[in-house]
Chains A and B, each alone.
Chain A
Amino acid sequence: MDWIDWLLLVARIVIVFFALLIAVLLYIWVERKVIADMQTRTGPMRAGPRGVLITLADGIKLFFKEGITPTDADRPVYLLAPVLAILPAFLAFAVIPFGTGVTIAGREVPFQLADLNVGVLWILGMTSLGVYAVVLAGWSSGSNYPLLGGVRSSAQMISYEVGMGLALVSVLMYSGHLSMSEIVEAQGRVWNVIPQFPAFVVFLVCALAETNRPPFDLAEAETELVAGFHTEYSGITFAMFYLGEYVNTVTVSAVAVTLFLGGWRGYWPFHGAWEWLGPLLWFLLKITAVIYVFILVRATLPRMRYDRLMNFGWKVLIPFGLFWVLATGAIVVLPERYGRARGSAIAVAAIVGVGLLLSMLAPLLKDRQEVPA
């Protein structure tokens, strides 16, 4: 590696960092506008054309506000937590391929910061680190509501991480790769969302829970917990939590696009000098679509009750995820062993059979509160 390689690497990192920041600025504006539209309001209108600079204005305001540390707070941890909220969110994006790449000065420049051969594990690891931010913030604030919010969200995020992991496992088994770029490569013929649709649904639900978005935003339930884990935060530290949360949402939708929606793949008629632009635009378009679904869910669904959230995670998503991992195994392995037609038939029969068996067994596993008199 000579200095040009280093320069290109640093340039990529800086560009991705600022692109994410700008994406978050726009995303918060879009979210406010779209939800306002759905409630026959106009949303922010004053800062910039149609209020597009509102997030910037909010950020500047928060930056110049006083940051208050409560007397009972554990100061080092209290100040560390917002950093922990922001860092993993940015780091997780490092393994996302957002285009094919260009050739600059005779060098291949892939549109991906680091093509780790364990890319999916990296994503799981980084999203798990995000839990620490919430737990530490809630614990170190020295106040009751943040503590409750932190405890709730630690339980919630850990539970839903299992479901998310199971959804990822079935995708990995199906495509046979851990590296994000190779998973995109493997989706050349058909996007994973079609053969792996159940895993896609499980992943989306778990992603909402992982990023603390409504209807799973119990960690910050403002009606009962007074904003939960970040009650005591103000000024720039609060802004960091806010930013981290939204970067996380962008990252999670990028992961969904990469694993299920074919990544940067899409139709592009131009070849030659502008060939790299098409994949990039397709990637952005797909991310926008996923984020729009997130916003629509937020605008529609009320917050879940805590016990139902846990019930849903443990008794629905995780068993279903396990079942789907088995089913994916059957789909992948049986055609290889018994030939395409016969193997597929056996796989379908096995999946239907196990599904029927489970649906017959399911009533036995129910809560036994309705004992007939």
Chain B
Amino acid sequence: MSEDQTPERERTGWDAAVAIAKGMGTVFKQTFRSDNTEQYPNEIVPSPERSHVGRHLLNRHENGLEKCIGCELCAFACPADAIWVEGADNDPADPVSPGERYAKDYQINYLRCIMCGLCVEACPTRALTLTNNYEMAYTSREDAVLTKEQLLEPPPPLGTVEVDREGR
């Protein structure tokens, strides 16, 4: 309705009343649509299998060696300063990862993490990926900092972690 178009008929109170009635009819029709709400703690709907929206996972090579080389690029990329990496030299006789370096310590603080995925983009060896597990509720600050051992394991299935499920 720009000004160079032919001017429309002036809108009257009757037009407004018709518009309001139409709007109320549209809203009323919405009543009969099915609801989108998921009753979360009672009925747990998993996010799509290949979605990358949840907890991190430290991957391994097929021969069991860790992919992480302790480069700390993920920690540098992290805007929330949620990742702590401590690199160390591999023992050539019993290497943890292929190459010279490996991560001696690796922690992610989920009270800080904002799930932006920049760490995953920064990782040169695809060692760090996101999973589709969205259950990241913890009852203490210590629990919210996941250690390297926990991050190496795939997250437990949805609904199995014993946290305080209020109201279930």
- Which A residues form the contact surface with B (CB < 8 A)? 34, 36-42, 45-46, 296-297, 299-301, 316
Contacts and interface: CB of A to CB of B under 8 A. Distances in A.
B144 to A, nearest CB: 25
Given A36-B35, A38-B28, 9 more contacts: A34-B31, A37-B30, A40-B37, A42-B35, A45-B37, A300-B20, A300-B23, A300-B24, A316-B13
B119 to A, nearest CB: 34
Contacts of A297: 24
A-B CB proximity, top 6 nearest: A42-B37, A300-B27, A38-B30, A300-B24, A42-B35, A300-B23
Contacts of A38: 27-28, 30-31
B51 interface: no
22 contacts: A34-B31, A36-B35, A37-B30, A37-B31, A38-B27, A38-B28, A40-B30, A40-B34, A40-B36, A41-B36, A41-B37, A42-B35, A42-B37, A42-B39, A46-B167, A296-B24, A297-B24, A299-B27, A300-B23, A300-B26, A301-B20, A316-B13
Nearest to B34: A40
B17 to A, nearest CB: 9
Given A296-B28, A316-B13, A40 B23 contact: no
B33 interface: yes
Interface of B: 13, 20, 23-24, 26-28, 30-31, 33-37, 39, 167
Nearest to B26: A300
A316 to B, nearest CB: 7
Nearest to A297: B24
Contacts of A316: 13
A38 B31 CA distance: 4
B39 A45 contact: yes
Given A45-B39, A316-B13, A39 B24 contact: no
B14 to A, nearest CB: 12
Nearest to A39: B30
Contacts of B34: 40
Contacts of B13: 316
A81 B167 CA distance: 36
A296 B36 contact: no
A40 B33 contact: yes
B1 to A, nearest CB: 17
Contacts of B24: 296-297, 300
Contacts of B20: 300-301
B25 to A, nearest CB: 9
Nearest to A47: B167
A232 to B, nearest CB: 30
B167 A40 contact: no
A36 B77 CA distance: 41
Nearest to B167: A46
A38 B27 CA distance: 6
A34 B26 CA distance: 14
With a 10 A CB-CB cut-off, give which of B27, B30, B34 has the most chain A CB atoms: B27
Contacts of B36: 40-41
Contacts of A296: 24, 27-28
A41 B39 contact: no
A371 to B, nearest CB: 16
A203 B36 CA distance: 37
A172 B24 CA distance: 31
A299 B36 CA distance: 18
A218 B79 CA distance: 41
A38 B37 CA distance: 13
Contacts of A300: 20, 23-24, 26-27
A34 B24 CA distance: 13
With a 10 A CB-CB cut-off, give which of B20, B33, B34, B37 has the most chain A CB atoms: B37
A34 B31 CA distance: 8
Contacts of B23: 300-301
Contacts of B28: 38, 296
Contacts of B26: 300
A34 B28 CA distance: 10
Contacts of A34: 31
Nearest to A293: B24
Nearest to B33: A40
